[in-house]
Structure 1
Amino acid sequence: MSVATRSTKSPSSPPPGPPPRRTGRLFALTGAVVGVIYGYDTGSISGALVFLSEDFHLTDTEKGLVNSILVCGSIVGALLGGKLADALGRKAAMLIVAGSYTVFVALSALAPNVVVLDVVRFLLGIAIGISIVAAPLYIAESTPARTRGASVATYQVATVAGIALTYFVNWGLSDGGHWRLMLGLSAIPAALVLIPLFRLPDTPRWYVLKGRTEKAVEVMALTDPDVDPRAETEAVRAALCEESGGSLRSLLRKPYARATLFVIGLGFFCQITGINAVTYYSPQIFEEMGFTGDGQNFLLPSFVQLASLAATVLAILIIDRLGRRVVLLSGIATMTAMLAVLTAVFGFGDPEGATLWIGFGAILLFTAAFNFGFGSLIWVYAGEAFPAQLRSTGASAMLTADLVANLLIAQFFPSLMTWAGAATTFAGLGLLALAALVFAAATAPETKGRQLEEIQGYWLNGGRWPTPAA
């Protein structure tokens, strides 16, 4: 299959409007801020759950449902997100997300009972599911190839920043048990992101998808200073013409069945290895470990997320230099080692003294390693693995697998901790992390510096990069 020839940008008068580099950064930043919304909710429920469980007298199963019902909604949203992003645009999908999220978090803070709370959180989950498909697509399709990995990974930075901020808010509100405020305050970042979104255009590739070639050229000139905007737009158009359909069935046929296996496996392993067990239930985990004085079980998760934020920033700095595979595999390997440490810490009985702080360090490094590897790379691969007509559908498939695993963790982790014990639970997660490491080593491609339309050649060539002559 041929790919249209690209050329570097030829000297010409610059397009009107802000400088290209500045505009590209604004695309990336605006898309990434949607991650703050996702992160804030993920963190806020961990603290709120401690107090609303007391107010509503929840069992372990009902606690799990408060988290898992949102994930159920997110699965629906992820399945709808690709079609919505294709039909209405990446930007329009994110506007819908931000607006509906503002409404639903306000309603969740006013919920009179757990039934109403679960219904609202299901609707909130739909909005979040759409966002985690649309936002990485928006960033990936609007940034130059040389910085795309770092730009897409800013979504994870924003997500972790939202979680870290929420944990500090939870700690500040924990003295009075203000769980309604913990939940309701997350409407603020959702409302704020609407402002820049209204001002920005959609992505060049979406305009090509809709036949609006001149608009695509105009936006391409504003977002990628490294290419000739008309030649690059023509390359995107040619790639679209050579691809058939954007259906789920297309993902299961050659040459993209291999890509589909990779992204679905990566999405599933991303969550089944237990990151949201720590995120959703960290106050309970730290209390189980022995941190109970002076609100330690609320404060310590804040420092865990700050370390994760630093790890995500580090990933951004090196992801386009060292490559995707180095970052991904080193992150998963560290997660596996830290789960082994946690198994040992809980296996020796009630941790105390130095063992207690070793357990804290293991949770900190586990969470940081996730955000360094899986957390940063899943959004990158979701936006890179498929050609334009399959990109949103492929991202939906990947994130649906991610959310199904998240659902299992959210629903069953509290019961597993009670029934099997902490040591056995973390040992099981460690075995899953080891399987994830083997899977990623065997299947993850190195896409550093490749144009989005160029990456399809890897899958067309049976999971190998074609030679320059080919």
Structure 2
Amino acid sequence: MSATPTTPRTSAVGRKIALAAAAIGVIYGYDIGNIAGALLFIDEEMNLSTLALSSITTVLVAGNIVGALIAGKIATAIGRQKTMVLVAIGYAVFAAASGMVSDVVSLDIVRFFLGVTIGLSLVVAPVFVAESAPAAIRGALVVGYQVATVTGILIGYLVDWSLADSGNWRLMLALSAIPSVLVLLLLLRLPDTARWYLMKGRREEARATLALTDPTVDVDRELAEIDADIAAERGGAIREMFRKPYSTATAFVLGLGFLVQITGINAVTYYSPSIFEDMGFTGYGALLGLPSVVQLAALVATIGALFAVDRLGRRPILLGGISAMVASSVLMMIVFASGSLAEGGSMWGFVGILVFTAAFNFGFGSMVWVYASESFPARLRAQGASLMLTADLVANMIVAQFFLPLMDGIGGSATFGIFTALSAVALVFVFRLAPETKGRPLESIRHYWENGAKWTGEEFHGRG
């Protein structure tokens, strides 16, 4: 690999990085979205109890937690690129295996390992993109990963819809193996990141990689900046996060990560067809088509947030999105409490689900991870993101396991009453604790948390 590549070759590598990032995001989204339609046909074939049906999604999230916990060590030991190769292999193997099982126990085992793969992907894919993409497009690619994920969820619903007449749930689950193999071939041709090469003392490879991915960069200056950043990250221990002055930031990050999921977004992602069926909708055209429209609205909302964040700031977007979640949850309570659900379905219920999902993606889904990266000094930043992700996945597992039993046991009105209360808690939590960080340097944000969650002196410009 030459240290002075030609511009066309560099441009090609940049495009490959962008394509690989988008493909991994889409595959991840597809693998968490396709189960919604597949569950309808799995239940018909296997006649499962509510708890057994819930376990098919719960084991996936349990695998997410395991994968997320080991991802950092694997990515540091063997490299970001090799870990991404493992992710692509895992997606291909376990998606294909999902289409070959004949009983729920085998399906649970396969989906657990698919979940481990997803957990690896959740941690490593954004790191790989952020560390390897040219500076000019880095921000767009990192944020675009969320757009790719929502796009994948939408594609999952559309594929389920197109295969509904055949009821072929195995094909629904297995199809993502094809793009996984294609992205694997692409990843094999990419270098690792300059940062990882420097961490391993492989300076010449780091130099060559920087020159390859961005011909405009001052390689020596960039290497010096990466060296300084790596040095700044040394010495951080997770126990430090639970002591002053960082304990307030830690509590905020953990609370925010938990509230992202416990407010119910993945109840909709995993179980939309069941929710629409409980609201009186019938036929696969409605049970799978309407959730597809919901995910299209979510995609539009996510893209809208990208354009709005630099104009409106983080707090207004978060507060606006959560407020709409509260309102739509109240609407769902009313829909189920009305007792008038009949064949043909409640269009107000459809509106409630659509607004809830779009509002989540506009607010929580687009903004929340920004705070994890901004709330701690460099040496604690990775641990902060890991803590938030762990809290997020634990809440996700609770929702995945207990949503359907709650719907069966206490009914839709009470279940969405719980989500209303939790969304209201999230609204108060964000209003009271989330600072407006738009346009502020990381050092200023760090001082905010070190000062007991208060802006000091000349730093104060209001909280949005």
Match in the other structure for 1:404: 394
Q: Matched residues in 2 for 1:208 and 1:257: separation?
A: 31
Distance 1:151 1:380, change over 3 A: farther
The yes-or-no answer on 1:65 pairing with 2:55 is: yes
Q: Matched residues in 2 for 1:62 and 1:451: separation?
A: 49
Match in the other structure for 1:151: 141
Q: CA deviation at 1:416?
A: 0.3
Q: CA deviation at 1:231?
A: 3.4
Q: CA deviation at 1:93?
A: 2.0
Aligned-pair RMSD on alpha carbons? 3.2
The yes-or-no answer on 1:185 pairing with 2:155 is: no
Deviations 1:259-295 (A, max 9, x none): 3323222221111010110111111100111111463
Match in the other structure for 1:436: 426
Are the counterparts in 2 of residues 277 and 413 from structure 1 also a CA contact under 8 Å? yes
Are the counterparts in 2 of residues 28 and 152 from structure 1 also a CA contact under 8 Å? no
The yes-or-no answer on 1:362 pairing with 2:352 is: yes
Match in the other structure for 2:462: none
The yes-or-no answer on 1:115 pairing with 2:111 is: no
Q: Matched residues in 1 for 2:211 and 2:439: separation?
A: 19
Scaled by the length of structure 2, the TM-score of the pair is 0.88
Q: CA deviation at 1:186?
A: 1.6
Q: Matched residues in 1 for 2:441 and 2:196: separation?
A: 16
Are the counterparts in 2 of residues 209 and 389 from structure 1 also a CA contact under 8 Å? no
Are the counterparts in 2 of residues 250 and 256 from structure 1 also a CA contact under 8 Å? yes
Deviations 1:188-222 (A, max 9, x none): 22222223322333334434433445554555566
Q: CA deviation at 1:82?
A: 2.1
SS at match of 1:420: helix
Moved more, 359-368 or 258-267: 258-267
Match in the other structure for 1:305: 295
Deviations 1:305-329 (A, max 9, x none): 1111111111222334443333322
The yes-or-no answer on 1:338 pairing with 2:323 is: no
Q: 2:408 aligns with which of 418, 421, 428?
A: 418
Moved more, 62-71 or 321-330: 321-330
Match in the other structure for 1:10: none
Q: Matched residues in 2 for 1:178 and 1:153: separation?
A: 34
The yes-or-no answer on 1:39 pairing with 2:29 is: yes
1 or 2 for the larger relative contact order (CA 8 Å, sep ≥6)?
1
Q: Matched residues in 2 for 1:142 and 1:382: separation?
A: 21
Q: CA deviation at 1:449?
A: 5.4
Q: CA deviation at 1:373?
A: 1.6
Match in the other structure for 1:206: 196
Moved more, 246-255 or 356-365: 246-255
Distance 1:134 1:143, change over 3 A: same
Q: Which structure 2 residues correspond to residues 40-439 of structure 1 after superposition, within 5 A?
A: 40-142=30-132, 150-213=140-203, 215-216=205-206, 219-220=209-210, 228-293=218-283, 295-351=285-341, 356-439=346-429
Distance 1:368 1:131, change over 3 A: same
Distance 1:58 1:244, change over 3 A: same
Moved more, 103-112 or 249-258: 249-258
Distance 1:102 1:389, change over 3 A: farther
Scaled by the length of structure 1, the TM-score of the pair is 0.87
Q: CA deviation at 1:413?
A: 0.3
Are the counterparts in 1 of residues 13 and 190 from structure 2 also a CA contact under 8 Å? no
Moved more, 170-179 or 186-195: 186-195
Q: Matched residues in 1 for 2:293 and 2:47: separation?
A: 29
Distance 1:79 1:436, change over 3 A: same
Q: Matched residues in 2 for 1:32 and 1:387: separation?
A: 29
Q: Matched residues in 1 for 2:204 and 2:352: separation?
A: 53
Are the counterparts in 2 of residues 307 and 364 from structure 1 also a CA contact under 8 Å? yes
Q: CA deviation at 1:160?
A: 1.0
Mark the runs of 5 or more structure 1 residues left unpaired by the alignment: 1-12
Q: Matched residues in 2 for 1:98 and 1:29: separation?
A: 14
Q: Matched residues in 2 for 1:339 and 1:268: separation?
A: 18
Are the counterparts in 2 of residues 145 and 449 from structure 1 also a CA contact under 8 Å? no
Are the counterparts in 2 of residues 141 and 205 from structure 1 also a CA contact under 8 Å? yes
